[in-house]
């Protein structure tokens, strides 16, 4: 009787897991991503530290994650289609209309960096943009205080197309301060064999979330990923 009862419970558990979309070979999820090394990168063996972390979390729940890499704006556009559940990694500010942010999967940071020998300092956003020319990546959505300062001091803003250009222009002293994740800057200075980039200040820690397509077809996956990440965050 006990054995039969245990078998019934086990069977019920299996059906419960499959009803959530979890279990052996339960399903495959596809997301879009971008080359934002070291967090995500098509040329990296593990596809980036943050992508690898998300893959491992989902794998532990029986879900296979397939990642397709595109330029950032194209990645966001393609993620609106039914082929994908969303795009990752994104700062909360980069979760656009039609998407909803997952709980954080990982963390990055936003920092102010300069070149060796510079006297630039970072007291606050207003002071920095009033005093210095600042390099930013044009595809980023920065925190509101920085976006507002960029609009207020447009002549002090240098919009660069990507992080590699940002690194090159900083060491050429085209601007006094660059705003990006210090680890991303470190990746490109190593890649380009650039020296002389120094941090000024870590402005804030940034959550890395999945921007989940917010529609009826994706609603079960949204609830499931919230539950999965909630469980892993508390471990």
Per-residue pLDDT tens over the stretch 104-150: 999 999 999 999 999 999 999 999 999 999 999 999 999 999 999 99
Q: What are phi and psi of 134, to 5 degrees?
A: -125, 130
What average pLDDT does the segment 170-185 reach?
Answer: 97
Beta bridge partners of 207: 107
Residue whose entry in the numeric block shows the structure tokens 């077809």: 217
Q: Return the CATH number at 86.
A: 3.40.190.10
> Does one domain contain both 130 and 94?
no
Query: Quick one: 223 and 200 in the same domain?
Result: no
Q: What is the pLDDT of residue 27?
A: 87
Residue 131 burial by Cβ neighbours in a 10 Å radius (0-12, 13-18, 19+): middle
Q: Are residues 95 and 55 in the same domain?
A: yes
* Residue of higher predicted confidence among 2 and 73: 73
How many angstroms separate the CA atoms of 161 and 79, rounded?
21
Q: What is the pLDDT of residues 52-67, one digit of tens each?
A: 999 999 999 999 999 9
SS3 25: coil
> 225 or 5, which is more confident?
225
Tell me: do 72 and 128 sit in the same domain. no
CA-only gyration radius of the chain, Å? 21
State the pTM of this model. Answer: 0.85
For residues 39 and 119, state if they share a domain. no
Start-to-end Cα distance in the chain: 35
If asked whether residues 97 and 166 sit together in one domain, one would say no
Residue scoring higher pLDDT (194 or 5): 194
Q: In terms of domains, do 12 and 98 share one? A: yes
Confidence band (pLDDT; 50, 70, 90) for 231? confident
152 shares a domain with 113? yes
Peptide bond between residue 38 and the one before it cis (omega within 30 degrees of 0): yes
Average pLDDT over the chain reads 90
Regarding whether 193 and 154 lie in a shared domain, the answer is yes
Q: How confident is the model at residue 221 (pLDDT cuts 50, 70, 90)?
A: very high
- Residue 60 shares a structural domain with residue 135: no
Q: Residue 152 belongs to what domain range?
A: 108-206
Domain count along the chain:
2
What span, in angstroms and rounded, lies between the C-alpha atoms of 156 and 178? 12
91 & 149 share domain: no
211 φ, ψ (degrees, to nearest 5): -85, 105
How far is C-alpha 63 from the geometric centre of its chain's CA atoms? 20
What's the confidence (pLDDT) of residue 1?
Answer: 45
Task: Tell me what the mean pLDDT of segment 203-209 comes to.
Answer: 97
Examine the pLDDT at 198 and tell me if it is beyond 80: yes
Q: Quick check: 189 and 167 in contact, CB under 8 A? A: yes
CA pair distance 84, 93, nearest whole angstrom: 20
Please determine, for residue 9, whether its predicted confidence score (pLDDT) is greater than 70.
no
Same domain, 84 and 129: no
**What's the pLDDT tens digit per position in 78-109?**
999 999 999 999 999 999 999 999 999 999 99
């Amino acid at each position: 009787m006990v054995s039969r009862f245990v078998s019934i419970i086990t069977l019920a558990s299996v059906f419960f897991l499959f009803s959530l979309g979890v279990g052996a070979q339960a399903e495959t999820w596809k997301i879009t991503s971008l080359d934002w090394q070291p967090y995500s990168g098509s040329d990296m063996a593990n596809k980036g530290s943050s992508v690898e972390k998300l893959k491992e979390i989902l794998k532990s729940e029986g879900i296979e994650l397939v990642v397709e890499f595109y330029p950032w704006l194209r990645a966001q556009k393609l993620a609106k289609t039914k082929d994908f559940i969303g795009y990752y990694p994104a700062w909360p500010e980069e979760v656009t209309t039609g998407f909803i942010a997952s709980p954080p999967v990982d963390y990055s940071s936003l920092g102010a960096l300069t070149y060796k020998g510079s006297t630039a300092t970072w007291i606050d956003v207003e002071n920095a943009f009033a005093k210095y020319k600042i390099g930013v990546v044009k595809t980023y959505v920065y925190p509101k205080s920085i976006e507002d300062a960029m609009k207020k001091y447009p002549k002090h803003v240098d919009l660069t197309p990507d992080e590699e250009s940002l690194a090159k222009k900083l060491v050429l002293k085209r601007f006094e301060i660059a705003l990006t994740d210090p680890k991303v800057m470190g990746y490109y200075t190593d890649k380009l064999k650039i020296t002389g980039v120094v941090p000024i200040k870590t402005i804030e820690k940034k959550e890395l979330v999945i921007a989940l397509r917010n529609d009826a077809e994706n609603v079960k996956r949204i609830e499931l990923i919230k539950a999965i990440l909630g469980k892993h965050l508390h471990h």
